[in-house]
Structure 1
Amino acid sequence: MKRRILFVVVLFFATAVLMAVQKPLFMAFHAARCADCGAEAWWQVVRHGWTLDLTVAGYVTALPLLLALASVWVPLDGRRWRRALAVYLVAVSVVAAAVFAVDLGLYGYWGFRIDSSVLLYLKSPKEAAASVSGREWLVQGSIFLLAAAVLSAVLLSVSRLLETPKLSSAGRAAGTAAMLLLGGLCFLAIRGGASVATANVSKVYFSSNQFLNHAATNPLFSLLSTLGDDKDLRPQYLFFDEEERAARFGEIRGDRPDSVVGPRLLRTTRPNVVVVILESFGRTFTDERVGGEWVTPNLQRLKAEGVWFENIFANSFRTDRGEVAILNGFPAQTRMSIMKYPAKSRTLPSIARSLAAEGYETEFVYGGDLNFTDQASYMYATGWERLVWQKELRFDAPVSKWGYADDVMAGWFGDEVLRLAGTGRHFLAGWLTLSSHEPFEVPYVRFEDKILNAVAFTDDCVGRMIGQWRRSPAWDDLLVVLIADHAYPYPADLPYNVGRRHRIPMIWTGGAVAGPAVVEEYGSQIDLAATLLGQMEVDHTPFIYSKDLLSPSVPKFGYWCFNEGFGIADPQGETVYDCTSGRVLIDDDPASGRLERGKALLQTTYKDIGER
């Protein structure tokens, strides 16, 4: 009986130690983010993270413990149970190693530990893999293989401790009692202790340095604990009771009855509209100079010639969420994407549907696969009449990992807009670029930094395309909206949740623009819908979240979501709130009301989705 007990105890603590060892490895892999952290910080990460390591160890040990308990009463064939136990432990090792390796790689881009949102992108593995360079495949693949080998070797060696000799009646009774006691302790570990609060990520948060909190989080627990957390959305983020939520949201909603029309930016209320969504074009790119030379000289020129919106924020960090914010005026979510729920996304208001009702043709173009993250079904359901993408495009040009490069697509889309203009019908045309996306491999050499070089390439392609339109008669009635789908963690040490990480450009250019102007008002992607439709004198009351940035009666602020919370900014400063820990991470003015606005907006978003 002692061997059974020893096996369960050693397996539990061996698993916990293996989980704990991942923490300093994670910190070492991302050493630039903790360069100022001393030995005490490293120790605190391991110490505070131990709680969730024990929880994961409890889950891993539960099935072998039941096997050991069963062996007290039921004779087990030695070879069969050892084989079954080995298969189980190797499977656990492979899963844990895969999560560890993927999480290490993703954290550099996402800025948070792996969770269920990764599954949204694994449904289209080809496109998900396109983000990974050959070097990253080699590094993360090697880490996975090494981690799987180490975990398997340790856990299989522990399994050899289990022996199941036949027991006497007294031995069975004592063995059952011992196993039930161990089972109770295992349950407590899974639960996260005996206190009222059960195991959750916030239990390991201990520092004002968010990276240290993330380092303390067990990645396997982070993933498993979020599986299925979007099934019932209405109960999430219950900051206020319903009456207070409705009142607070009523103060910031875009379709307020006291909204008035602001100054005119356009020469006509019926321009032909082109929306170019620029992949990953954060302000840290577009505001960057290298050796005195702008990374995006064309955007800088267009900024001076057209309408420049100075204080615009991306609502999220992923394309699928940014597209919905831009095209539907609907706020991004933390750990889910409404685009992945066709029954819900089709009910959203959309710029395409609103303009189609005014007689506009609508067409959206992408050089890659629009099936990725269910974009095609979402686009058709929200009013885009024609979709043009890689499956029906045939160019004598190489295809990158994501699809046709931006120079190829800019040439085609440039001609397509002129063709649409020649039909005599009003139109809305959209194009999502793709070359300024990981792995940033482009047929262009201007900067040594491959990320800046890819951004410069797209800027060059867009500049040439707009130059083509400017030289044509179509220019006079054309409104071109340039806006990013999201920003990017550049420089690498830029925190993932602050306002600077989410600042993006928005430029209106074209012959339909009345003249150069700068709009200083604070806003985000969701505000494009009401601002654009307001200028076109098209009803935008269905867009309850979208604010007309030119209306003096509507409150103005930028808003963004990240995996664990939200941020909100206005001329007085910014507030960043972490929902996992319930902490205010940044607040330049606690009396500003920004925190309450952000909470009301996030709570309303999830309530709205849950009821669609």
Structure 2
Amino acid sequence: MQKRLLFPLAVFGATTLVMALQKPVFLLYYAAQASSYGFGDWCRVLWHGLSLDMTVAGYITALPLLLTLLSLWLPLSDRAWRRIFGIYFGAVSLVAALIFAVDLALYEHWGFRLDASALMYLDSPKEVLANVDWWMGLRQTLFFAACGALLVWLYRRLVLRLFVPAGRVPLRGVWSLVLLLLGGFDFLAIRGGVGASVANVSKVAFSSEMFLNQAAVNPLFSFLSTLGDNDSYADAYPFFPEEERAARFEALRGNPAAPADSLSAVAAPAADSAALDPVLRVRRPNVVVVLLESFGRTVMDADVDGEPVMPNMQRLKSEGVWFENFFANSFRTDRGEVAVLSGFPAQTLLSVMKLPAKAATLPSIARSLVREGYATSFTYGGDLNFTNQASYLYATGWQELLWQRNLRFDTPPADWGYDDAVMCDFFADRVIELDAAGRPFLAGLLTLSSHTPFDVPYERFDNKVLNAMAFTDECIGRMVGRLKDSPAWENLLLVLVADHGYPYPDGIAYNIPLRHRIPLLWLGGAVARPRVVGDYASQMDLAATLLGSMGVDHREFDYSKDLFDTVSQPRRFAYYTFNEGFGVADASGEAVWDCAADRAVSVTSPELLDVGRTLLQTTYVDIDRR
């Protein structure tokens, strides 16, 4: 009986080993690229890839574990059980070998590991085969056959050696409990551990070199986890015929059509307006972007018995460039983060951050500034594996990620990670350190304490939400004070912006503009003078506004508008999405549309409905084409 109990453990271990061995095979297959990395990098690929290897092994082991448990109670012959296992492991071996073989061939052309988008091409087999030369076809067929045969042999040996005749099993209840306990560990492997984030491709991201991150990805996980994601996103919201949609978007886009070889066509308007009334005192400041968790304007402007919830934000907004009518593009961090850092609109029932191959193609502030010679570093006190953040950040130009995996402090982390008091102090030190290095830099920070469950080492208000928000406000105020007192302040542009709003007060509707209104504030010695910007805008407009103020080309940001551009004067409006709906607001009014009910929620400016429809449809068409 002991051997039979060892059987699922052996299946898990052998599968993990096979999955791990696939990585050096991949590196050898692409030796021309892999040769530029050292032995240590190859080892890190193996080490970081193990988490997804074990997740795949957990999935493959789940059925053998269940069948082993059933074998204690069902009176089937051992021959029958072995036949069942033979069919199961044969199917697993063939699928795994096929995915390995196809993944190796396609990476050269696609630049990312195999995902379910490959299934979209099965309806055109002639066109697919036309792109396969005879040598590739022969090579991958032989690899498939060899790999499949090896897996079939391996699993067959495990069944023959360990799933031996058990006869009458004494203490079946005890052995069943042992197998159920093993099932719990198998579930943890499938989930990806006990942390906040479940298994995703971001878990293996560890380097600013995307080839190494891609090498660490398990192709079976990449493929199976995206099954169901290969629908045509372009058909999600067919408000207008394609030609009409494209024409409508031209009037709304943030980068008006311009000669491809002319930087001044886009970047110069901001420079022209800045020449009359410059926003920045220095042209290329060091840039710090702080994403403030859940900092809605309804919370920021709240008070309790006359005491402001966020006194530091209220004080600081008079010291820099304050954007009075600024809105989040979404209600979720992953979507708001992409809107801020990539100037890309949020989606309704989809998060492009969770589509790594597509997210990697997005423009980004980080990538634009790397081209200008900036170093980039992003800090978070929690788990950047959550919602594929690490994968997205590395893919879009962030060279260094500092997060709970590589940060160690004396204080224990809270539910979501190290609290904002710890992280704001650390981040201030990091910014000062980067300034002292002498190279221009972009540094990012995502706060986390003002997030459910709102447990913070702070007692100011009885309301847990307001108390947590006040705690983060105090941490931000202290961080700003430290930076002001340092040499880094002189050449610094500090951008404070919320990742999304918060449903405060209780009962506020989830889809109205007020729910999505957030703060945006520019501070630092690089700011020319305090001012208030009254134009309506949303997170996706930050990228072009920031880069335009610095004289950096932002033509690749199709949706982002430079709010200081007084020459081309793109239309100013705020756009946001929620589950199955969108809202648009500008100086003329608002329009909120529920796509599921196919009706307007509220409309005071009817023409804004078509603005929202155009942007929502264009976003999904864009994602479909990436």
- Distance in 1 separating the partners of 2:576 and 2:466: 24
State the shift of 1:398 in Å: 1.9
State the shift of 1:491 in Å: 1.2
2:111 is aligned to: none
- Distance in 1 separating the partners of 2:326 and 2:525: 23
- Distance in 1 separating the partners of 2:307 and 2:440: 38
- Distance in 2 separating the partners of 1:476 and 1:392: 30
State the shift of 1:231 in Å: 2.6
In structure 1, which of residues 556, 561, 577 is the aligned counterpart of residue 572 of structure 2?
Answer: 556
1:243 is aligned to: 243
Distance 1:345 1:123, change over 3 A: farther
2:404 is aligned to: 390
Could you tell me which amino acid in structure 1 is paired with residue 247 of structure 2?
A
- 1:429 is paired with a residue of what secondary structure? strand
State the shift of 1:126 in Å: 3.3
- Distance in 1 separating the partners of 2:372 and 2:385: 28
Structure 2 contact 197–383 (Cα < 8 Å) conserved: no
1:459 is aligned to: 473
In structure 1, which of residues 398, 409, 425 is the aligned counterpart of residue 439 of structure 2?
Answer: 425
Deviations 1:521-555 (A, max 9, x none): 00000000000000000000000000011223110
State the shift of 1:581 in Å: 1.6
Aligned positions of 1:516-531 closer than 5 A? 516-531=530-545
Aligned positions of 1:292-303 closer than 5 A? 292-303=306-317
In structure 2, which of residues 589, 593, 599 is the aligned counterpart of residue 577 of structure 1?
Answer: 593
State the shift of 1:230 in Å: 6.7
In structure 1, which of residues 497, 513, 533 is the aligned counterpart of residue 547 of structure 2?
Answer: 533
State the shift of 1:125 in Å: 6.7
In structure 2, which of residues 183, 189, 196 is the aligned counterpart of residue 127 of structure 1?
Answer: 196
Q: In the alignment, is residue 376 of structure 1 matched against residue 390 of structure 2?
A: yes
Deviations 1:11-37 (A, max 9, x none): xxxxxxxxxxxxxxxxxxxxxxxxxxx
Could you tell me which amino acid in structure 1 is paired with residue 239 of structure 2?
F
1:334 is aligned to: 348
- Distance in 1 separating the partners of 2:556 and 2:571: 18
**TM-score, normalised by the number of residues in structure 2:** 0.62
Could you tell me which amino acid in structure 2 is paired with residue 265 of structure 1?
V
Distance 1:344 1:585, change over 3 A: same
1:134 is aligned to: none
Structure 2 contact 197–385 (Cα < 8 Å) conserved: no
Distance 1:336 1:230, change over 3 A: farther
In structure 2, which of residues 490, 504, 508 is the aligned counterpart of residue 490 of structure 1?
Answer: 504
- 2:324 is paired with a residue of what secondary structure? strand
1:102 is aligned to: none
Could you tell me which amino acid in structure 2 is paired with residue 418 of structure 1?
I
Aligned positions of 1:110-509 closer than 5 A? 126-127=195-196, 228=228, 231-257=231-257, 260-261=269-270, 262-263=273-274, 264-509=278-523
In structure 1, which of residues 601, 605, 610 is the aligned counterpart of residue 615 of structure 2?
Answer: 601
State the shift of 1:504 in Å: 0.2
Could you tell me which amino acid in structure 1 is paired with residue 582 of structure 2?
F
- Distance in 1 separating the partners of 2:522 and 2:538: 15
Structure 2: gaps spanning 5 or more residues: 1-190, 199-226, 258-264
State the shift of 1:325 in Å: 0.2
- Distance in 2 separating the partners of 1:124 and 1:454: 28
- Distance in 2 separating the partners of 1:125 and 1:275: 30
- Distance in 2 separating the partners of 1:389 and 1:231: 34
- Distance in 2 separating the partners of 1:387 and 1:126: 18
- 1:266 is paired with a residue of what secondary structure? coil
State the shift of 1:124 in Å: 8.1
- Distance in 2 separating the partners of 1:596 and 1:295: 37
State the shift of 1:366 in Å: 0.3
- Distance in 2 separating the partners of 1:230 and 1:579: 22
Could you tell me which amino acid in structure 1 is paired with residue 455 of structure 2?
E
**TM-score, normalised by the number of residues in structure 1:** 0.63
- Distance in 2 separating the partners of 1:550 and 1:481: 16
Structure 1 contact 273–429 (Cα < 8 Å) conserved: yes
Could you tell me which amino acid in structure 2 is paired with residue 438 of structure 1?
T
State the shift of 1:589 in Å: 2.5
Could you tell me which amino acid in structure 1 is paired with residue 236 of structure 2?
Q
Structure 1 contact 363–430 (Cα < 8 Å) conserved: yes
1:200 is aligned to: none
Structure 1 contact 575–587 (Cα < 8 Å) conserved: yes
Deviations 1:561-582 (A, max 9, x none): 0011100000111100111121
1:79 is aligned to: none
- 2:575 is paired with a residue of what secondary structure? strand
Which stretch of the first structure deviates more once superposed, 228-237 or 302-311? 228-237
Structure 1 contact 559–568 (Cα < 8 Å) conserved: yes
- Distance in 1 separating the partners of 2:625 and 2:474: 44
- Distance in 2 separating the partners of 1:411 and 1:359: 27
Could you tell me which amino acid in structure 1 is paired with residue 517 of structure 2?
R
Q: In the alignment, is residue 565 of structure 1 matched against residue 565 of structure 2?
A: no
- Distance in 2 separating the partners of 1:316 and 1:469: 30
Structure 2 contact 238–617 (Cα < 8 Å) conserved: yes
- Distance in 1 separating the partners of 2:621 and 2:342: 17
Deviations 1:316-364 (A, max 9, x none): 0110001000000000000010001110000000000000000000000
State the shift of 1:289 in Å: 1.1
In structure 2, which of residues 580, 584, 604 is the aligned counterpart of residue 588 of structure 1?
Answer: 604
- Distance in 2 separating the partners of 1:579 and 1:229: 20
State the shift of 1:472 in Å: 1.1
- Distance in 2 separating the partners of 1:542 and 1:379: 18
Could you tell me which amino acid in structure 1 is paired with residue 600 of structure 2?
V
- 1:396 is paired with a residue of what secondary structure? coil
- Distance in 1 separating the partners of 2:235 and 2:193: 30
- Distance in 1 separating the partners of 2:605 and 2:528: 37
- Distance in 2 separating the partners of 1:332 and 1:589: 22
Which stretch of the first structure deviates more once superposed, 572-581 or 502-511? 572-581
- Distance in 1 separating the partners of 2:552 and 2:256: 16
- Distance in 2 separating the partners of 1:228 and 1:476: 51
- Distance in 1 separating the partners of 2:192 and 2:496: 30
State the shift of 1:128 in Å: 6.3
Structure 1: gaps spanning 5 or more residues: 1-121, 130-226
Structure 2 contact 328–518 (Cα < 8 Å) conserved: yes
Structure 2 contact 197–387 (Cα < 8 Å) conserved: no
Could you tell me which amino acid in structure 2 is paired with residue 294 of structure 1?
P
Deviations 1:231-254 (A, max 9, x none): 320111010011110111000100
Q: How many residue pairs align between the two structures?
A: 395
- Distance in 2 separating the partners of 1:550 and 1:520: 11
